[in-house]
Amino acid sequence: MTDKPRVFIYARYSSDMQNPMSVRDQIDQCERFAGKKGWRVVKHFEDSAMSGASDKRRGFQAMREAIARRECDIILTESMDRLSRDQEHAARLFKDARFADANIYTLDRGKVDIIQIGFNATVAALYLEMLSEKTRRGLSGRIKDGKSAGGLSFGYKVPRDDRDNPVVGQLEINPEEAVIVRRIFREYAEGRSPLKIAAGLNADGVPAPRSGGKSSGHWKQNTINGNRERGSGILNNELYIGRRVWNRLNYRKDPATGRRVSRLNPQSDWQVAEAPALRIVDDEAWNAARDRQKRLEKVRSQREAHDLNRLSASQSLRRRKFLLSGLLRCGICGGSLTVAGSGDAKRYYCANAKEKGKSVCRGMPGLPVRQAEDHVIDQLRDHLMNDAAYASFKASFLRKWSADKHNAEDVQRVKDKAVARLEKERAGLLAAIKRGFAEDELLKELEQVGKDLERAKLEREAARPIEVPLPENLPDQYRAYVDDLVMTLNDEGIVSRASDLLHDMIDHVVVRYDEAAKAFDVEIDGNIVKMLIASNPAGGGAYARMGSSLKLVAGTGFEPVTFRL
């Protein structure tokens, strides 16, 4: 250590505490403690509203990276459960710190040793398990009492008492949203796809579920279609027919990824309670939707392949197994990357090198699937449409749009004159016919002038400058959209649809391998038009019509993002 030890301070408050002031208080106390010891605080790390059961915290991960770079001698925190409530994660942090010649100190225990790590982590794990069991027991009791176990489905609201306080455990129908629920069931039964239903709702400016929270506020097909077996999605929510179903799913943390994943419980474990006062959809509409789902499933199961490898069957209905399926390209030969391996060993490899040999492509080491997914999502959210890039793009586009507008106005003036001339000519012919000159030649000429006039009007309309909505906060809307997309990845049944949405926003991802650095260089090329439409569906039509201009200007602010793994 140096004469004056360098200190990292870590603070966190969990979502169950919901107290942002807690972070500041923790840091203040740690600052005072370090001052009394004569230590030098070099950096603060913090995570807000994040559970200690997960290590997927930005502040925590940034601190670990800095520890690995040996930028501190001491990690100081209020208590061990601030750092982690997971035995494995706590032990790993302790090992990383020891390897980097750093020590962990807490305000309540002082210097932490391996015995304290094991004891505190065990106590924290038991606390989480007991808390989970107590929570489940309490929710089960609510269901038996005919109350809500939490969560707020679209179409409902929490009633309020005389003092305008929410009535915990109670729900009532939201009339405005109930109209939208019935519309979705009606349109689906009439044959509209969930994709088209979502597009129609977005075009009509209907707020999507959770539009006031972390959602992008836009309807998506998986919001409507969901997963029939798991009861997710508007079309599968039995609460709409006055039936509460609880304990359909159980949630567990994947030890390999730290992500919370859902699993379907046996039907015998489900708790079902009738709630007729909450019915929104009648039996006829519900059964019609169910019948159509069954028909579509039958079509999918019966679709046959016609190629020798049996790979062509229902190509449009096949589900992607991985988030980045079909997006990754080999930086050597340009071929697609394919997944091989099992469990944590799943990796992307060049398909040409793997299947055709080194004469076609020399190949490269496998890129871990989870690592690629996590980093591509992070780059997509934080760098592909950052504020500076968007500001540069917007300024350049508005300059081009202004120039195009002037040109379009010049063209319109020419078209206006053509329309005026043809209207005058048509009026003259009509006047001649009224005076009795209804000869065949005049009638043919009138018909031709009418066609020319209609075409001229269409050309004039086509030349009209398009108003392109580029709001100031579009990057925020875009990040909210990607965050909403990431939230859906916790559901194993959604990954193929999430992959479809990613394919809309990304043209391709090129992967290269630096042999000297033993690292992957990954380049993401985004689809600017689809990114804008996803962020601001209200302007989708204008973005689509101005697609070529948007792509032309995008290079000024949206060059491909490159990062290293």
Which is more confidently placed, 156 or 2? 156
Measured distance between the N- and C-terminal CA atoms of the chain, rounded to whole angstroms? 31
Residues 6 or more apart whose Cβ sits within 8 Å of residue 493: 227, 229, 230, 232
At 308, the pLDDT band (50, 70, 90 cuts) reads: very low
Residue 40 pLDDT greater than 90, yes or no: yes
Outline where 349-473 has alpha helix (H). Answer: 351-356, 369-382, 387-434, 440-462
- pLDDT value, residue 103: 93
> Which percentage of the chain shows pLDDT scores above 70?
69
pLDDT digits (tens, 9 = 90+) for 272-303: 778 788 888 888 888 888 888 887 776 555 54
- pLDDT value, residue 42: 94
The Cα 260–Cα 15 span in angstroms is 15
Residue 9 pLDDT greater than 90, yes or no: yes
Hey, how many other C-beta atoms are within 10 angstroms of the C-beta on 211? 16
380 three-state secondary structure: helix
DSSP state of 227: B
- pLDDT value, residue 86: 74
Global pTM reads: 0.40
Q: Identify the structural domains of the chain with CATH numbers, from first to last.
A: 6-128 (3.40.50.1390), 156-294 (3.90.1750), 328-385+472-564 (no CATH)
pLDDT digits (tens, 9 = 90+) for 72-87: 999 999 988 888 877 7
pLDDT digits (tens, 9 = 90+) for 423-467: 888 888 787 777 776 677 777 787 888 888 887 777 776 666 666
At 69, the pLDDT band (50, 70, 90 cuts) reads: very high
The Cα 125–Cα 532 span in angstroms is 44
pLDDT averaged over the chain?
A: 75
Answer whether 512's CB lies under 8 Å from 360's CB: no
Determine which of 52-56, 203-207, 408-412, 424-428 has the lowest per-residue pLDDT on average: 408-412
Which is more confidently placed, 177 or 444? 177
pLDDT digits (tens, 9 = 90+) for 475-491: 777 777 777 666 655 55
Answer whether 379's CB lies under 8 Å from 524's CB: yes
Give residue for tokens 């053509």.
Answer: 418
- pLDDT value, residue 318: 44
Tokens of 545: 């019509």
Phi/psi at 222 (5° precision): -70, -20
Which is more confidently placed, 178 or 139? 178
In Å, how far are 65, 95, 328, 488 from 188, measured between CA atoms?
50, 55, 34, 22
The Cα 465–Cα 365 span in angstroms is 51
In Å, how far are 13, 130, 138, 561 from 133, measured between CA atoms?
22, 5, 9, 45
Residue 379 pLDDT greater than 50, yes or no: yes
Answer whether 195's CB lies under 8 Å from 233's CB: no
The Cα 334–Cα 451 span in angstroms is 50
> Which percentage of the chain shows pLDDT scores above 90?
10
228 three-state secondary structure: coil
pLDDT digits (tens, 9 = 90+) for 91-109: 888 889 999 999 999 998 8
- pLDDT value, residue 189: 84
Determine which of 243-257, 279-293, 369-383, 388-402 has the lowest per-residue pLDDT on average: 243-257
At 212, the pLDDT band (50, 70, 90 cuts) reads: very low
Residue 63 pLDDT greater than 90, yes or no: yes
- pLDDT value, residue 310: 42
- pLDDT value, residue 312: 39
The Cα 300–Cα 507 span in angstroms is 28
Query: Which whole number is the average pLDDT over 247-270?
Result: 64
Burial class (CB in 10 A: 0-12, 13-18, 19+), 32: exposed
At 213, the pLDDT band (50, 70, 90 cuts) reads: very low
Tokens of 61: 């991960």
Query: Which whole number is the average pLDDT over 176-188?
Result: 88
Closest residue by Cα to residue 207 from 234, 227, 180, 236: 180
pLDDT digits (tens, 9 = 90+) for 99-136: 999 999 999 888 888 777 666 656 656 655 665 566 55
513 three-state secondary structure: strand
Closest residue by Cα to residue 234 from 174, 294, 281, 168: 281
